[in-house]
């Protein structure tokens, strides 16, 4: 069926002043989901940045007399000084969770960035140039995929000291093949399109086409899905912490707090639960924002505004 | 009075079910007698496709039949039960305009047609069904039908596929065939074959055809009676010849007047002197692609896409390269624009061999020669604003000043007739014509001297084509541009180009001035092309004398001697061994055929006699 789409100038005129990224952002900002997500996120960031310093409580300081205090209004001997209770050696759970959030978030975001850089670069190169380049890079990807992440983590972190940069590197290195695969397949379909040819005719070099044409076009959807991976990496960090290969105690991260709290799950459930709640909140807020941005992008680029 | 085969009574189709819904078809009434071919002509968006789908009861939501009847042999097919409709499918068939997308690529063509036949005729034995399909494939002249039966859709060419789909439609001996723009994707010579085939089939199988087409000349070829549609209404109905000679309704008059005439109108191309500077010149340019052989052990097949092409384009020329699909036009375009380097020979632009350019010289060449691509939808990056798209070439060529870039882009947008308001807009929702203007603007923004138009107009409808052609001519005058049109549309070429190269299987068969080519073609292939052109005028070359059978041979194994030999009606002994080279036919006109006698031939013959 052939349908003629007429664009009347009157429909176009009002939005003339706003550029397209601006319109995507404005559209996202008008969605309730984005606002809720942003509010939670800002709150968490502020709390994590400021509360440990302002309250002056040391997250590693022990206080045996105040051990295993429950959170506010639960049980009998709760105290205002420790709103989320204390753990088995009397450390304040709120401060520990917030400091844990800092580290977990740092590790989550940084490892996703590492993963994106490696994966997208290799994937784009493989997809764009094809041929031998493609087969070499893809065999490399296959090799990487064949090594289970946990084994790699145990090998690397077991041998060297599990510092934060090492953890970021291990997490990033073990997860890039997925992005390489995705980027390769979408670049492969796009590079044969006429507009790429048009750009070549305009005199663009391959590098220019990749950087100014393909990457801006293809990266955003990948970025939006990678937001979900921030959450996954935070969980992986927790897994590593749980195995004792994460950030070493006494520095708190979600992983080692939860690992510690497991032993006391029956008589002090809050030790493992509190960081879990923070983890959940962070991920929810990130996902809400990511989803709204993605939806806004689709509406604008789909032409409904 | 006998009941007509098909009768539409006041059919109204709307989008959605509300009473205010937009009417796509607005009170259509028509009748179709057995064995008749009736054409339905109209611009895109007039509701032709919806009409053809309504006739076969194929409307899908949100389309909704508000009122009216579609009577097939007196029975309203819009109200009958689904089961009955399925049996009726035996008698009503449909062929669409996209042959390549119509069959499942993972099953063989034959098995799919057999499946359809057995679905509508339950209880038919498989062997019998196969026999019938093969006999029909032979009837539509698919060569070696028995082995083709087991081929996959990808192994069929577009023209063969369309014929296979006609078999698919005819296999149940339908009383009514709805042909929706069947010839649109096909080359002129193949389209002419398909139309001729359909005419024969109406006689042989006593089928009536509802021939829906966007092109009046094509409908004229096929139909005895034509209905003209505009905005969902039938505005005129006459027998074909009467409609063309005496159109009543304003839209029809416009349509008839706008259809380009090849012979009865004088071309407005200015005569240009021969001593202008040569801007592009090809010297024996050839391109060979190596394709890995799929069967057997390794090895490569050589696809000779362009073979020894030699011609000059002078400044101010509108040079046309015409030919059917697969003749090497697109490869030649890639050579000219240095997307690829020729495997042998030279392509020179302003005296420099472009294959050897790099760095700054290459950028200079890119600035001189720009191209407008074919597909108005694929050639624009989908998520970039129009303004940014047009800025990009400037940035590539080292423009840095934002205000200057913007000024230049707005100037070009203005020149090609794009509203400034589009600057920050995505190309979404723009019509094909608007998009093609963006394409033109993108090419013009660098102020090139030479523009290659790669089938630029083929995706547009007639009115839009005219507007763009006028624009091209205006721009040519203003900037002294040189155009190279790559096209299969001879009518357009006749209108705007002063020099034409006809290509077949990678070779230039004829190279001539506009008038000479259309009035006195030297090559039988050119004659065949001209005879296959659908037009509204009296033909200069009769299809009976020149129409080609079959399809071009594969470029992988080009026959020895003249490559046109297998389809040429005048082939004789020397054609089998000697490949004719371009022979002078006086002035600047050349043709590659043994039948062409050069002006000096008599002298040459004398000399031969002396040697003998």
Q: Which domain holds residue B161?
A: 6-258
- The closest CB to that of B370, out of A19, A201, A301, belongs to A201
Q: Please give the residue of chain A at the shortest CA–CA distance from B461.
A: A4
Is A9 contained in some domain?
Answer: no
Q: What is the pairing mode between strands B37-42 and B225-230? A: parallel
**Which strands make up the sheet holding B75-76, listed edge to edge?**
B23-32, B6-15, B63-72, B75-76
Task: Between B189 and B93, name the one with better pLDDT.
Answer: B93
Q: What is the pLDDT of residue B547?
A: 67
Q: What is the pLDDT of residue B609?
A: 53
Is A28 contained in some domain?
Answer: no
Q: What is the pLDDT of residue A233?
A: 86
Q: Give B-chain residues touching A197 at CB under 8 angstroms.
A: 339, 373, 379
The fraction of chain B above a pLDDT of 90, given in percent, is: 8
Query: Which chain B residues in 218-277 lie under 8 Å from chain A, judged by CB atoms?
Result: none
Residues of chain A with pLDDT under 50: 1-16
Q: What is the pLDDT of residue B271?
A: 66
Chain A interface mutation, best of B58, B212, B424, B433, highest count of A Cβ atoms under 10 Å: B424
Q: What is the pLDDT of residue B294?
A: 65
Does B392 contact A at CB distance below 8 Å?
Answer: yes
Q: Label residue B612 by pLDDT band (50, 70, 90).
A: very low
Is B125 contained in some domain?
Answer: yes
Interface confidence, given as ipTM, is: 0.72
- Look up the CATH number of the domain holding residue A292: 1.10.3720.10
Give chain B's domain count.
2
Q: Is the peptide bond before B62 cis (omega within 30 degrees of 0)?
A: yes
3-state secondary structure of B309: strand
Question: Domain check: are B170 and B30 in the same one?
Answer: yes
Is A77 contained in some domain?
Answer: yes
Q: What is the pLDDT of residue A139?
A: 94
Question: Domain check: are B43 and B129 in the same one?
Answer: yes
pLDDT tens readout for residues B93-112: 888 877 777 888 888 888 99
- Average pLDDT for chain B: 84
Q: Tell me which of B226, B258, B290 is where a domain ends.
A: B258
The fraction of chain B above a pLDDT of 70, given in percent, is: 94
The structure's pTM equals: 0.77
Question: Domain check: are B414 and B458 in the same one?
Answer: yes
Is B63 contained in some domain?
Answer: yes
Does B383 contact A at CB distance below 8 Å?
Answer: yes
Is B21 contained in some domain?
Answer: yes
Chain B interface mutation, best of A1, A294, A301, highest count of B Cβ atoms under 10 Å: A1
CA distance to partner chain A, nearest, from residue B339 (Å): 7
Question: Domain check: are B223 and B287 in the same one?
Answer: no
pLDDT tens readout for residues B364-417: 899 999 988 888 888 888 888 888 889 989 988 888 888 999 999 999 999 888
Question: Domain check: are B83 and B177 in the same one?
Answer: yes
- What one-character-per-residue DSSP string does B214-227 give? S-HHHHHHH-SEEE
A-B CB pairs within 8 A amount to: 106
- Both tokens assigned to B542: 């009769």
Is A196 contained in some domain?
Answer: yes
Chain B interface mutation, best of A22, A195, A223, highest count of B Cβ atoms under 10 Å: A195
Is B595 contained in some domain?
Answer: no
CB contact under 8 A, B431 and A4: yes
| Phi, psi (degrees; rounded to nearest 5) at A92 | -70, 125
- List, in order, residues 6 or more apart from A5 with CB less than 8 Å away: B429, B430, B431
- Name the most confidently modeled range: A30-44, A277-291, B40-54, B460-474: A30-44
pLDDT tens readout for residues B236-295: 888 888 888 888 888 888 888 877 777 777 766 666 676 788 889 999 999 988 877 766
pLDDT tens readout for residues A276-296: 888 888 888 888 888 888 888
Q: Please give the residue of chain A at the shortest CA–CA distance from B97.
A: A1
Q: Please give the residue of chain A at the shortest CA–CA distance from B363.
A: A203
Question: Domain check: are B40 and B121 in the same one?
Answer: yes
Tokens 């941005």 belong to A293
What are the contacts of A5-8 at 24+ separation with CB within 8 A? A5/B429, A5/B430, A5/B431, A6/B431, A7/B429, A7/B430, A7/B431, A7/B434
Is A230 contained in some domain?
Answer: yes
Is A21 contained in some domain?
Answer: no
Q: Give A-chain residues touching B443 at CB under 8 angstroms.
A: 201
Q: Is the peptide bond before A178 cis (omega within 30 degrees of 0)?
A: no
3-state secondary structure of B523: coil
Is B274 contained in some domain?
Answer: no
Chain B interface mutation, best of A3, A6, A7, highest count of B Cβ atoms under 10 Å: A7
CB contact under 8 A, A203 and B363: yes
Does A194 contact B at CB distance below 8 Å?
Answer: yes
Is A149 contained in some domain?
Answer: yes
Q: Please give the residue of chain A at the shortest CA–CA distance from B365.
A: A203
Chain B interface mutation, best of A4, A23, A24, A198, highest count of B Cβ atoms under 10 Å: A198
CA distance to partner chain B, nearest, from residue A203 (Å): 6
- The closest CB to that of B379, out of A19, A194, A208, belongs to A194
Question: Domain check: are B206 and B319 in the same one?
Answer: no
Q: What is the pLDDT of residue B298?
A: 67
Q: Is A281 exposed, middle or buried (0-12, 13-18, 19+ CB in 10 A)?
A: middle
CB contact under 8 A, B421 and A197: no
Average pLDDT over every residue of B524-551: 79
Q: Which domain holds residue A286?
A: 46-302
Question: Domain check: are B75 and B190 in the same one?
Answer: yes
DSSP summary character for residue A39: H
Does A5 contact B at CB distance below 8 Å?
Answer: yes
Is B578 contained in some domain?
Answer: no
Question: Domain check: are B371 and B438 in the same one?
Answer: yes
Q: What is the pLDDT of residue B582?
A: 83
CB contact under 8 A, A212 and B446: no
**Contact assessment for residue B484 and residue B542, using Cβ atoms and an 8 Å cutoff:** no
- The closest CB to that of B379, out of A3, A20, A198, belongs to A198
| Phi, psi (degrees; rounded to nearest 5) at B571 | -60, 140
- The closest CB to that of B378, out of A4, A195, A216, belongs to A195
Query: Which chain A residues in 286-305 lie under 8 Å from chain B, judged by CB atoms?
Result: 300-303
Q: Give B-chain residues touching A195 at CB under 8 angstroms.
A: 378-381
Question: Domain check: are B123 and B202 in the same one?
Answer: yes
Does A4 contact B at CB distance below 8 Å?
Answer: yes
Residue B507, beta-bridge partner list: B504
| Stretch among A73-87, A108-122, B322-336, B469-483 having the lowest mean pLDDT | A73-87
Is B38 contained in some domain?
Answer: yes
Give chain A's domain count.
1
Does A20 contact B at CB distance below 8 Å?
Answer: yes
- Look up the CATH number of the domain holding residue B350: 3.40.50.300
Q: What is the pLDDT of residue A10?
A: 38
Is B582 contained in some domain?
Answer: no
- What one-character-per-residue DSSP string does A54-108 give? HH---TT---GGGTTPPPTTSSS---TT-TT-B-TT--BHHHHHHHHHHHHHHHH
Question: Domain check: are B214 and B126 in the same one?
Answer: yes
Question: Domain check: are B225 and B358 in the same one?
Answer: no
């Amino acid at each position: 069926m052939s349908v003629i789409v007429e664009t009347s100038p009157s429909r176009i005129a009002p939005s003339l002043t706003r550029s397209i990224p601006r319109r995507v952002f404005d559209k996202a900002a008008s969605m309730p989901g984005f606002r809720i997500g942003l509010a939670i996120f800002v709150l968490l960031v502020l709390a994590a940045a400021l509360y440990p310093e302002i309250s002056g409580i040391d997250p590693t300081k022990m206080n045996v007399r105040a051990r295993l205090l429950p959170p506010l209004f639960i049980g009998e001997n709760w105290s205002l000084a420790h709103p989320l209770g204390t753990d088995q050696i009397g450390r304040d759970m709120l401060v520990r969770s917030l400091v844990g959030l800092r580290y977990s978030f740092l590790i989550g975001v940084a490892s996703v960035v590492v993963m994106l850089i490696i994966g997208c670069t290799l994937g784009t190169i493989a997809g764009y140039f094809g041929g031998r380049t493609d087969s070499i890079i893809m065999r490399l990807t296959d090799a990487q995929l064949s090594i289970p992440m946990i084994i790699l983590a145990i090998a690397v972190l077991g041998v060297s000291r599990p510092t934060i940069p090492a953890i970021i590197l291990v997490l990033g290195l073990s997860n890039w093949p997925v992005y390489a695969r995705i980027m390769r397949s979408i670049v492969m379909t796009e590079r044969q399109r006429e507009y790429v040819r048009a750009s070549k005719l305009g005199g663009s070099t391959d590098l220019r086409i990749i950087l100014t044409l393909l990457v801006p076009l293809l990266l955003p959807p990948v970025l939006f899905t990678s937001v979900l991976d921030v959450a996954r990496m935070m969980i992986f960090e927790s897994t590593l912490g749980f195995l004792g290969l994460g950030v070493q105690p006494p520095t708190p991260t979600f992983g080692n707090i939860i690992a510690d709290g497991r032993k006391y799950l029956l008589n002090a459930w809050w030790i493992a639960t509190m960081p879990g709640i923070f983890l959940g909140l962070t991920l929810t807020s990130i996902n809400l924002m990511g989803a709204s941005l993605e939806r806004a992008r689709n509406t604008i680029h789909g032409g409904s505004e | 009075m006998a009941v007509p085969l098909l009768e539409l009574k006041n059919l109204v189709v709307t989008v959605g079910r509300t009473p205010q819904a937009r009417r796509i078809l607005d009170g259509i009434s028509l009748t179709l007698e057995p064995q008749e071919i009736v054409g339905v002509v109209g611009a895109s968006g007039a509701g032709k496709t919806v009409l053809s789908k309504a006739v076969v009861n194929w409307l899908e939501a949100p389309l909704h039949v508000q009122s009216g009847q579609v009577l097939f042999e007196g029975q309203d097919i819009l109200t009958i039960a689904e089961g009955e409709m399925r049996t009726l499918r035996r008698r009503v068939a449909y062929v669409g305009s996209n042959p390549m997308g119509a069959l499942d690529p993972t099953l063989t063509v034959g098995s799919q047609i057999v499946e359809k036949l057995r679905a509508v005729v339950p209880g038919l034995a498989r062997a019998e069904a196969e026999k019938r399909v093969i006999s029909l494939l032979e009837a539509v002249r698919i060569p070696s039908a028995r082995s083709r039966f087991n081929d996959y859709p990808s192994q069929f060419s577009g023209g063969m596929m369309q014929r296979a789909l006609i078999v698919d439609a005819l296999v149940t001996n339908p009383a009514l065939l709805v042909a929706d723009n069947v010839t649109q994707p096909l080359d002129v010579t193949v389209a002419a074959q398909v139309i001729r085939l359909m005419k024969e089939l109406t006689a042989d199988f006593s089928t009536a055809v509802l021939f829906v087409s966007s092109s009046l000349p094509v409908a004229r070829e096929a139909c005895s009676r034509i209905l003209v549609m505009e905005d969902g209404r039938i505005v005129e109905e006459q027998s074909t010849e009467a409609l063309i000679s005496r159109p009543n309704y304003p839209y029809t008059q416009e349509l008839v007047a706008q259809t380009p005439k090849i012979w009865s109108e004088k071309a407005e191309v200015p005569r240009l002197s021969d001593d202008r500077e040569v801007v592009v010149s090809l010297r024996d340019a050839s391109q060979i692609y190596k394709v890995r052989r799929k069967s057997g052990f390794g090895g490569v097949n050589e696809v000779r896409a362009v073979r020894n092409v030699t011609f000059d384009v002078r400044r101010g020329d509108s040079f046309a390269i015409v030919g059917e699909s697969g003749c090497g036009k697109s490869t030649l375009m890639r050579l000219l624009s240095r997307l690829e380097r020729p495997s042998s020979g030279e392509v020179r632009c302003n005296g420099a061999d472009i294959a050897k350019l790099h760095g700054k010289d290459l950028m200079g060449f890119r600035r001189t020669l720009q191209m407008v691509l074919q597909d108005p939808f694929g050639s624009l990056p989908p998520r970039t604003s129009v303004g940014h798209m047009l800025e990009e070439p400037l940035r590539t060529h080292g423009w840095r000043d934002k205000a200057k870039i913007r000024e230049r882009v707005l100037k070009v947008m203005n020149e090609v007739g794009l509203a400034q308001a589009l600057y920050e807009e995505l190309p979404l929702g723009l019509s094909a014509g608007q998009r093609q203007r963006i394409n033109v603007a993108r090419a013009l923004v660098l102020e090139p001297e030479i523009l290659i138009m790669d089938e630029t107009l083929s995706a547009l409808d007639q009115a839009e084509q005219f507007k763009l052609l006028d624009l091209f001519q205006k721009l040519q005058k203003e900037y002294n541009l040189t155009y190279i049109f790559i096209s299969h549309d001879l009518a357009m070429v006749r209108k705007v180009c002063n020099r034409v190269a006809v290509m077949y299987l990678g070779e230039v068969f004829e190279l001539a001035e506009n008038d000479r080519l259309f009035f006195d073609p030297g090559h039988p292939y050119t004659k065949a092309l001209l005879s296959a052109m659908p037009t509204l005028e009296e033909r200069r070359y009769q299809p009976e004398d020149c129409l080609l059978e079959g399809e071009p041979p594969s470029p992988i194994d080009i026959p020895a001697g003249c490559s046109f030999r297998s389809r040429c009606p005048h082939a004789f002994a020397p054609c089998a061994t000697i490949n004719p080279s371009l022979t002078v036919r006086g002035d600047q006109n050349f043709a590659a055929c043994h039948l062409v006698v050069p002006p000096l031939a008599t002298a040459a013959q004398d000399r031969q006699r002396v040697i003998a």
